Structure 1
Amino acid sequence: MKHKSISYAKWGYIFVIPFFAVFIVFNLFPLLSTFKNSLYEYYKSNGVTFGPNWIGLQNYTKLFSTEVNVGKYFMNTFIIWLMGFIPQIFFSLLFASWFTDLRMKLKTGAYKIIFYLPNVIMAAAMGMLFFTMFDQSGPMTMMLKPFTGGVAYKFFENVWSQRTIIALINFMMWYGNTTIMLMAAINGVDPSLYESAQIDGANPSQTFWNITIPLIRPILVYVLITSLIGGLQMYDVPQIITRNGDAVNRTSMTMIMYLQYQMNIGKNYGYAGAISVVLFIVAAALSMLVFYINSDKDEKKRKKGVK
Structure 2
Amino acid sequence: MAKVKRGKVVRYNKWGYIFLIPFVVVYVLFQLIPLFRTFYYSFFENYRSGLTQIGPNFIGFGNYAKLLSNPDLWMYTKNTLIMWILGFVPQIIISLLLGAWFSDPSLRLKGQRFFKTVIYLPNLIMASAFAMLFFTLFSDGGPINEMLMQIGILKEPYQFLTNVWSTRGLVALMNFLMWFGNTTILLMAGMMGIDTSLFEAAEVDGATSTQVFFKITLPLLKPILIYVMITSLIGGLQMFDVPQILTNGKGDPMRSSMTLIMYLNNHLYSKNYGMSGALSVMLFIITGILSLIVFKFSNGKQDK
TM-score between the two structures when normalised by the length of structure 2: 0.93
Partner of 1:173: 178
* Aligned with 1:36 (options 40, 62, 81): 40
* Aligned with 1:214 (options 215, 219, 223): 219
Q: Deviations over 1:271-297 (max 9, x none)?
A: 011110001111112212222222377
Confirm or deny that 1:103 pairs with 2:106: yes
Aligned with 1:102: secondary structure?
A: coil
Deviation at 1:94, TM superposition (A): 0.5
When structure 1 is superposed on structure 2, of 135-144 and 165-174 the one drifting more is 135-144
Q: 1:207 to 1:51 in 2, by over 3 A?
A: same
2:246 counterpart letter in structure 1: I
* Aligned with 1:189 (options 190, 194, 201): 194
Q: 1:182 to 1:297 in 2, by over 3 A?
A: closer
* Aligned with 1:46 (options 50, 73, 76): 50
Structure 2 unaligned runs (5+)?
A: none
Q: Deviations over 1:181-236 (max 9, x none)?
A: 11111111111110011001111011111111111111111100010000000001
Deviation at 1:11, TM superposition (A): 4.0
Deviation at 1:246, TM superposition (A): 4.3
Distance in 1 between residues matched to 2:53 and 2:119, nearest whole Å: 49
* Aligned with 1:141 (options 127, 132, 145): 145
Provide the aligned C-alpha RMSD in A. Answer: 1.9
Distance in 2 between residues matched to 1:138 and 1:14, nearest whole Å: 56
Partner of 1:20: 24
Deviation at 1:2, TM superposition (A): 7.9
* Aligned with 2:123 (options 94, 119, 122): 119
1:97 counterpart letter in structure 2: A
2:81 counterpart letter in structure 1: F
Q: 1:70 to 1:292 in 2, by over 3 A?
A: same
Aligned with 1:249: secondary structure?
A: coil
Partner of 2:167: 162
Partner of 1:263: 268
Aligned residues: 297
**8 Å CA contact retained: 2:191, 2:217:** yes
**8 Å CA contact retained: 1:73, 1:255:** yes
Deviation at 1:143, TM superposition (A): 1.9
**8 Å CA contact retained: 1:185, 1:219:** yes
* Aligned with 1:86 (options 85, 89, 94): 89
Distance in 2 between residues matched to 1:275 and 1:298, nearest whole Å: 34
Partner of 1:244: 249
Q: 1:61 to 1:204 in 2, by over 3 A?
A: same
Aligned with 2:97: secondary structure?
A: helix
Partner of 1:272: 276
1:166 counterpart letter in structure 2: V
Structure 1 unaligned runs (5+)?
A: 302-307
2:257 counterpart letter in structure 1: S
Distance in 2 between residues matched to 1:282 and 1:11, nearest whole Å: 39
Aligned with 2:299: secondary structure?
A: coil
Percent identity of the aligned residues? Answer: 50
Distance in 1 between residues matched to 2:273 and 2:173, nearest whole Å: 33
Q: 1:159 to 1:297 in 2, by over 3 A?
A: closer
Aligned with 1:51: secondary structure?
A: strand
**8 Å CA contact retained: 2:77, 2:259:** yes
Partner of 1:282: 286
Distance in 1 between residues matched to 2:3 and 2:195, nearest whole Å: 45
Aligned with 2:254: secondary structure?
A: helix
1:87 counterpart letter in structure 2: P
**8 Å CA contact retained: 2:251, 2:259:** no
**8 Å CA contact retained: 2:243, 2:251:** no
Distance in 2 between residues matched to 1:165 and 1:102, nearest whole Å: 36
Q: 1:296 to 1:249 in 2, by over 3 A?
A: closer
**8 Å CA contact retained: 1:45, 1:267:** no
Distance in 1 between residues matched to 2:132 and 2:197, nearest whole Å: 48
Deviation at 1:247, TM superposition (A): 1.6
